[in-house]
Amino acid sequence: MKHVAACGICCDVCELNKTLGCVCGSGTEQIAKKKVNTRWGGKGILCLVLDCAVKRGVAYCMRDCEEFPCQKYFEWSFPYGKDYLKMHKERKSQQQKQQDAKKPSELHNASDRKAPRKSPRKRVK
């Protein structure tokens, strides 16, 4: 398995790769930019996920895009189903809540710490 597309699917197991011979790659690779600009070398095919990733400068939506799963994925239902996207969104929300809950205690603990004492300066004669 060599290529992983911006959507996260391994191109080697994608039916589109098998039937059309496309290999997307990440949204930051030159080949992806070329494919988006030429609509897959003139085949008239444009992957909306890759197009978005290239425009945003995102290698992999799931890993690199703060908005994943965005409304586009829910509207397209490609390549992930709505249940998977919903689960991902809920887990991301839970993770954010946990991080937010830690922040006040970290600030409180930081204010409790005493500043390090400065050693007295020696006078130079």
Is 123 among the domain residues? no
Question: ∠27-76-22 over CA atoms, to 5°?
Answer: 45
Q: Is the pLDDT confidence value at 13 over 90?
A: no
Tell me whether residue 42 is in a domain: yes
- Give domain status of residue 3, yes or no: no
- Confidence class for position 58, pLDDT limits 50, 70, 90: very high
**Domain-embedded: residue 113:** no
pLDDT band at 1 (very low <50, low <70, confident <90, very high): very low
Q: Give the range of the structural domain holding residue 98, as residue numbers without chain letter.
A: 11-108
| pLDDT, mean of residues 35-61 | 82
Dihedral through CA 36, CA 42, CA 44, CA 48, nearest 10? Answer: -10
Q: How many domains does the chain have?
A: 1
Residue 50 falls inside a structural domain: yes
21: left (phi over 0), alpha (psi -120 to 50) or beta: left
Q: Closest Cα to residue 5, out of 23, 25, 29?
A: 25
